[in-house]
Amino acid sequence: MEKDTAKYVKVERLLGEQLVQKMPRCIINYIKKIIHETEINESIDFSQGAMGADFFKPGLEYLDIAYEAHGVENLPPNDGKRYIFTCNHPLGGPEALIIGEVIRQYFGNNIRFIVNKLLTELKPLSPVFIPVDLLSNRQTRDLSINIDNLFQSDSQICLFPAGTCAKKIKGKITEMPWKKMFVTRAKVSQRDVIPVHCTGHNSNWYYFLSNVSRFFGMKMNLGMFYLVDELFKNKHKTFTVTFGKPIAWQTFDIAKTDVQWANEVREKVLTLDKMNVTV
């Protein structure tokens, strides 16, 4: 019997009845393939109903993704203090599962990620996702309120300030410039910032699509639609995640603009990768 409950991914439901009626079945089947509908639903069964932060571990186990955590001695004690974890964005999927699982182990399940709203269709993780629409320049009033409430909450917040995965530029995989939002929010919410670096890279196909999008000045990154496929290409791999020392929110003073501070934290994260030691 076909499973069609709310927790499962079903392409036809995502596309909507009107669009499904207009699309050739071969296109629908291709979409099912690149978003790995069957495998995602298998992972949901594998997790035995795990939701939210509890899904990180079985999600990694299903994918057979391992990780080495460095710099965990830099993580402060779980004494109720709230932090912003800022990470590079090399992959688009595995780093969120890995970082989320490490944070869960040290700080508990009250974790929230600010992510592309497309990811909220993965229902087991939707409780930890705060969605933003990366395809729109307009921030709705409801979204602004949700973000305000998030930073006022007791949740540990993890975000990827680049807002998009790393690109391959002139043959070199490059982390995109970071947005200043986390600096501004750190000062307002008085949250210290913990820099995080994760290793890894996507396929040449993903970088090709991303570069095509950039070349034609497309607002929409075509590679974004293949991120689930990229996730499954990283099955059976091992990654390294490195945590730096917390940066006090008072550090972000008027000596530099928020954009300059964001760039400085970005450089610190990239240094974590180069040195793989406490920074």
Query: Residue 1: what pLDDT?
Result: 42
The pLDDT of residue 279 is 39
Q: Are 110 and 3 in contact (CB under 8 A)?
A: no
- DSSP conformation letters of 44-105: HHHTTT--GGGGHHHHHHHHT-EEEEE-GGGSPP-SS--EEEEE--SSSSHHHHHHHHHHHH
**pLDDT value at residue 277:** 44
Domain boundaries, the chain: 51-275
CATH topology of domain 51-275: Glycerol-3-phosphate (1)-acyltransferase (3.40.1130)
d(CA 60, CA 232): 11
Q: Which residues of the chain, if any, have pLDDT below 50? A: 1, 4, 135, 277-279
Per the DSSP assignment, residues forming a β-bridge with 116 are 132
Q: What pLDDT is recorded for position 136?
A: 53
Q: What DSSP assignment string belongs to 254-265? A: TTS-HHHHHHHH
Contact 52, 125 (CB under 8 A): yes
Query: For residue 34, what are its two tokens?
Result: 């690149």
Q: What share of the chain is helix, strand, coil (3-state, %, to 5)?
A: 50, 15, 35
Tens digits of residue pLDDT in 55-110:
999 999 999 999 999 999 999 999 999 999 999 999 999 999 999 999 999 999 99
Q: What pLDDT, on a 0 to 100 scale, did the predictor assign at position 4?
A: 45
Structure tokens at 81: 């203090």
pLDDT at 264: 98
Distance CA 210, CA 218 (A): 10
Identify which of 246, 256, 257, 205 has the alpha carbon closest to the alpha carbon of residue 83.
246
Average pLDDT, whole number, for the chain? 90
Query: Is the dihedral angle over the CA atoms 25, 29, 35, 41 positive or is it negative?
Result: positive
